[in-house]
Amino acid sequence: MWEKIEELANIRGMTIYALAKKAGINYTMLAELKSGKKKDMMFSNVVKIADALDVSAEGFRKGFYERNYQR
């Protein structure tokens, strides 16, 4: 999931800090997601990040599922 978040943030010229601030979530949570320390997050945070990036949360869910659970 982090790869998609990072890709979209980069396209929009946003740093992790700016994304966290715009989404109203903790910067540390995003940093841990990026480092791999955190593997998952609450759906409400996914929605906040998606809103901040102006994309649908469904797109994140679908991409995460396809990469991690389909063979």
Domain boundaries, the chain: 2-69
Pick the CATH number of 2-69 from 1.10.260.40, 1.10.3080.10, 1.20.1340.10, 3.40.50.2000: 1.10.260.40
Per DSSP, the residues of the chain read -HHHHHHHHHHTT--HHHHHHHHTS-HHHHHHHHHTS-----HHHHHHHHHHHTS-HHHHHHHHHHHHH--
Residue 63 has pLDDT above 70, yes or no: no
pTM above 0.85, yes or no: no
Task: Output the pLDDT for position 16.
Answer: 93
Give me the chain's average pLDDT, please.
84
pLDDT tens digit sequence for 13-49 = 999 999 999 999 999 999 999 999 988 888 899 999 9
The pLDDT, as a whole number, for residue 60 is: 67
